[in-house]
């Protein structure tokens, strides 16, 4: 398991984890890998993220940091409640994400960022690693908890992805809670849009070309902060993953990012891993990031740490694409690499205490 520690520390924590697993083992002589996978069959684990970005410890005030940490802990405990009582990984992922969606602190649900036109367009997806079934919604304006609608798409429709008005009609049909658009207004997200628009105006006036951020221009990764995601392993050995976001501040023309795209922002397969991503979505789509991590685990036999590192610290870094992932393997080991200065994240497994981190500590 890794909360984004250095390789040495990560290896050490992996060893501790194996010792913990071996301690539970009645078959002491099995190889490390084997006992890791077998002996956690009855255990559970959950990892969550609250987005990656350029926040720095020096500039984050203590109150805000405390609020993030408390909410992440609460989300881990919501997942624990489900998993400890034998609930499914899909239930745990939904419960953890709903809690984060209801908080104004994150760019998902209540705290979703604004589009160029001053609207909130929410995207979400969920995947069941036992069946490879998946559901997703994109560009919804009135759905309080998009993750729950994504789940309905997975379970109550023969389709995978519903967008815009159709998704909202489906929500109505399913009795999913709808809210007026004003529900999503938060001062923080609004101010962030205003500063983007002002920067655009300055760029148009030629005053500050570097700040231009039209559809194709590079954007600072501080924009990404706040997307939420969860991956979980239940006591049946089933993995699940989910992601929810308001996308990127100032996004235009019905832009959809990676979060509702299965294989890009979300993927789960019991044979390999569960992944939820956050960052500059276009790059995650082009590189099928979530799927590629699982494919590396499945076909190359890579560990979850190795597979996630290749994508986040090599492939994306080479493309100058900011972001990170949380990934869980079938034994409950987590990898949480990110190539930005911060990623809100947390991990909890059976018998453990919630671990929450923000910076590279």
- Among 35, 148, 192, 278, the residue binding ligand ASP under the rule CB under 6 A is 278
Does 249 sit near ligand ASP (CB under 6 A)? no
x/- track of binding to ligand ASP for residues 57-96 (CB under 6 A): ----------------------------------------
Nearer to ligand ASP, 131 or 195 (CB): 195
In angstroms, the CA 13 to CA 150 distance is 34
Catalytic residue among 40, 186, 227, 245: 227
User: In degrees rounded to 5, what are phi and psi of residue 100?
Assistant: -75, -35
| Residues 98-137 contacting ligand ASP, CB under 6 A | 107
User: Contact 213/91 with Cβ under 8 angstroms?
Assistant: no
Does 281 sit near ligand ASP (CB under 6 A)? yes
Task: For the CB of residue 247, give the shortest distance to ligand ASP in the complex, in Å.
Answer: 4
Q: Hey, CA dihedral for 101, 103, 104, 106, is it positive or negative?
A: negative
Task: For the CB of residue 259, give the shortest distance to ligand ASP in the complex, in Å.
Answer: 5
User: Contact 79/96 with Cβ under 8 angstroms?
Assistant: yes
Is 227 a catalytic site residue? yes
Q: Hey, CA dihedral for 127, 133, 137, 142, is it positive or negative?
A: negative
- Among 242, 279, 322, 332, the residue binding ligand ASP under the rule CB under 6 A is 279
Nearer to ligand ASP, 51 or 111 (CB): 51
Strands (E), the chain: 45-53, 122-128, 133-140, 161-163, 228-233, 239-245, 266-269, 273-279, 323-328, 334-335, 342-349, 355-359
Active site residues: 227
Binding residues for ligand ASP (CB under 6 A) = 51, 107, 224, 226-227, 245, 247-248, 257-259, 265, 278-279, 281
């Amino acid at each position: 398991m890794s909360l984004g520690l250095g390789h040495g520390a990560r290896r050490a924590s992996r060893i501790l984890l194996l010792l913990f697993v071996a301690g539970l083992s009645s078959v002491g002589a099995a190889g490390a890998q084997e006992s890791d996978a077998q002996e956690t069959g009855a255990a559970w684990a959950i990892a969550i993220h609250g987005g990656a970005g350029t926040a720095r410890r020096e500039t984050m005030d203590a109150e805000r940091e405390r609020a993030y940490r408390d909410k992440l802990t609460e989300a881990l405990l919501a997942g624990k409640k489900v998993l400890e009582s034998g609930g499914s990984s899909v239930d745990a992922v939904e419960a953890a994400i709903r809690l984060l969606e209801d908080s104004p602190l994150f760019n998902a649900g209540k705290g979703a960022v604004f589009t160029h036109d001053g609207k909130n367009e929410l995207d979400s997806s969920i995947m069941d690693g036992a069946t490879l079934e998946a559901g997703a919604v994109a560009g919804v304006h009135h759905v309080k908890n998009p993750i729950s609608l994504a789940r309905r798409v997975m379970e109550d429709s023969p389709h995978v992805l519903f967008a815009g008005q159709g998704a909202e009609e489906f929500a109505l049909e399913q009795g999913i809670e709808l809210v007026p658009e004003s529900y999503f207004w938060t001062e923080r997200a609004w101010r962030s849009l205003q500063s983007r628009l002002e920067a655009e105006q300055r760029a148009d006036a030629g005053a500050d070309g570097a700040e231009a951020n039209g559809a194709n221009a590079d954007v600072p990764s501080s924009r990404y902060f706040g997307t939420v995601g969860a991956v979980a392993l239940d006591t049946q050995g089933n993995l699940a993953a989910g992601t929810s976001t308001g996308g990127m501040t100032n996004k235009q023309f019905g832009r959809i990012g990676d979060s509702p795209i299965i294989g890009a922002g979300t993927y789960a397969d019991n044979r390999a891993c569960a992944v939820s991503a956050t960052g500059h979505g276009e790059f995650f789509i082009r590189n099928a990031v979530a799927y590629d991590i699982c494919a590396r685990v499945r076909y190359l036999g890579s560990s979850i740490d190795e597979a996630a590192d290749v994508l986040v610290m090599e492939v994306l870094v080479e493309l100058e694409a900011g972001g990170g992932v949380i990934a869980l393997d079938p034994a409950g080991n987590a990898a949480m690499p990110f190539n930005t200065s911060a990623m809100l994240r947390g991990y909890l497994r059976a018998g453990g205490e919630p671990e929450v981190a923000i910076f590279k500590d």
